[in-house]
Structure 1
């Protein structure tokens, strides 16, 4: 049994890929509710509770960790949240596939690759680094079979709370101005949500994928301006781009806690942010969806 923790866009992408391979799937969320195909079970559990975590994973063979606490509560919840999930996976003897981002590397000059040290100085980057270290230590001690798939800022159908989520694409579909973070003329790697989901499933089915982190496949990196201009062209409108810096994020943070929490990560959008995912593609033969195709699918989902 494959158990997916989280019913957000990534959890759903993993579900779709597993179903396409004829695999059985069970999803877990705090609410126990999600719109899923027939035959897919959705169960309710508070994953902060170790007893509930163990109970919900009892018969799992593979656990996909695609859940997280609210962005503004990472510092107080995320480490214990992961510890509870790890406890459940270890008790079940299940393989654990963890979705991560790239915060742990900190500010990087040049391409971002898996062999870089964890040099983050931001609060959320340090949390991500510590979480990854704990997972790898458990694997090295033979207590947990774990692999991590790392993606950049993701986009795609049903992606809302991302720098390139529905708040970006809905105005593009109407030919209105959109707002992007940081410097739009810096290169930035973006991850298509379906590629992320497929990559996590591929990792789960290859024993040599465990015991390390992998950058999931991404299309060729372009500037944020180029990324948005392609979307406008596909939507049939000229591009109208506005930018959001620290001042606007601080203002937005008065009303939206997640916006305030984004300020420390703004450096990713103020300098080139280029992710190397070639080791994954070379090992598993999986390449990313073309940027045009991924953006076309994303726009179609806004209708």
Structure 2
């Protein structure tokens, strides 16, 4: 049995892929968010197309939902009984409160994995490398961040890595750049607020320099990397990077959207002064501005180890963009929480 903590964009995809390859999955969320059978069948077909489904499995697994707060060690430990792997795919929605909200989640998940004997796969990001990191960023690069959100992620991973090195459990972290894809919603840098205006013939506005090359992680590729990492038979106690298609600036992405839609409207950005003014009234925006360095200079990922060792490759832009735009056109792009 596999326990997936979180039923958002990544947690649901991971759960469906695990079940499609024959695993029985428990999805733990505060409200017991269900995953329906038609979603599972769709995931099975998608996993087969990407080569994720195991040919040795004769049946699809099951998905069962339970209510458990990600910060509640006792509830997670109960949900993890009999689990061979725990995937932490939850993420505190209140961006500006990570310093207080993340540590209890790390503590509870570590306790559940240690008590149950399950392996632990963390879904992470690239914040801990920090401003001025070597480009492209590789899995074994030092974590040099001085920004608060990056320090929170770094501290959580280092605590779990210490437990791994003591032999308390086996753990890995899967790190992805900014995500995009069907369902990516309004908070993603490459989500509704970027693609929506382009489809309406209007210029989207973002942070940083829209001409800077950036690695973007397609949601399906993130889920595939998590599933592959959970079954890795080599050395744990390390990080994996989610493969991304070639780095593109937001200007270049807008140009590709224009080629698909016939609407070439370009991209603009918020001025630093305007952002500082808006941040005065919005703690969430203030936290986003703190990590805006990722869009003011090249921000590029090296995922060659994932490609070679895990066998996961990035979805090309010409394959990823059409369904992303189609979801927005159909009104089905609301991100699940």
Shared fold, TM over 0.5:
yes
* 1:227-272 C-alpha deviation (Å, 9 max, x unpaired): 2321232233213312134434444445543222101101010001
- Mapped to 2, the partners of 1:89 and 1:163 lie a distance apart of 32
1:291 matched to 2:317:
yes
Could you tell me whether the CA contact under 8 Å between 1:199 and 1:216 is conserved in 2? yes
Q: Secondary structure at the match of 1:296?
A: helix
* CA deviation string 1:1-38 (max 9, x = no partner): 11111111111221232233232222111222245336
Displacement of 1:224 in angstroms is: 2.2
Distance 1:14 1:209, change over 3 A: farther
Structure 2 gaps, min length 5: 39-61, 331-337
Is the Cα contact below 8 Å between 2:243 and 2:314 reproduced in 1?
yes
Aligned with residue 127 of structure 1, among 139, 152, 157: 152
TM-superposed CA distance for 1:181, in Å, is 2.2
- Mean alpha-carbon deviation: is it higher for 109-118 or for 226-235? 226-235
| Equivalent residue number for residue 195 of structure 1 | 221
Tell me, what secondary structure is at the counterpart of 2:138? coil
CA distance in 1: counterparts of 2:120 and 2:7, whole angstroms:
17
Say yes or no: does 1:205 pair with 2:231. yes
Distance in 1, Cα, partners of 2:81 & 2:19: 21
2:68 to 45, 48, 51: 45
Q: How does 1:254-265 map to 2 (within 5 A)?
A: 256-265=282-291
Structure 1 position 182, deviation (Å) = 0.8
Please give the per-residue CA displacement for 1:64-85, whole angstroms capped at 9, x wherever unaligned: 1110222121011212211111
Confirm whether residue 114 of structure 1 aligns to residue 145 of structure 2.
Answer: no
Query: In the alignment, does 2:116 pair up with 1:92?
Result: yes
Correspondence for 2:162: 137
1:59 is displaced (CA, Å) by: 2.3
CA distance in 1, matches of 2:21, 2:318: 25
Seen in structure 2, the aligned counterparts of structure 1 residues 240 and 129 have a Cα distance that, compared at 3 Å, is same
Q: Matches of residues 224-303 of structure 1 in structure 2 within 5 Å? A: 224-253=250-279, 256-302=282-328, 303=330
- Aligned to 1:207, the other structure's residue is in SS state coil
Q: What TM-score results when the alignment is normalised by the length of structure 1?
A: 0.94
CA distance in 2, matches of 1:57, 1:255: 41
Paired position in structure 1 for 2:20: 20
**Alignment check: 8 A CA contact 2:138 2:302 kept:** yes
The 3-state SS of whatever aligns with 2:210 is coil
Whole-angstrom CA distance in 1 between matches of 2:66 and 2:279: 33
Q: CA deviation at 1:171?
A: 2.1
After TM superposition, give the deviation of residue 289 of structure 1 in Å: 0.4
* Corresponding residue of 2:189: 163
Q: Structure 2 CA distance, aligned partners of 1:239 and 1:209?
A: 48
Alpha-carbon distance in structure 1 between the residues aligned to 2:258 and 2:31: 36
Conserved? CA contact 2:254–2:266, under 8 Å: no
Stretch deviating more after TM superposition (255-264 or 62-71): 255-264
Contact map agreement 2:195 2:325 (CA 8 A) in 1 = yes
**1:214 is aligned to 2:240:** yes
| Cα distance, 1:257–1:292 mapped onto 2, change above 3 Å | farther
Q: Is the 8 A contact 2:30 2:69 kept in 1?
A: yes
Distance 1:256 1:301 in 2: 29
TM-score, length-normalised on structure 2?
A: 0.85
Instruction: Point out where structure 1 has 5 or more consecutive residues left out of the alignment.
Output: none
Q: How many residue pairs end up in the alignment?
A: 303
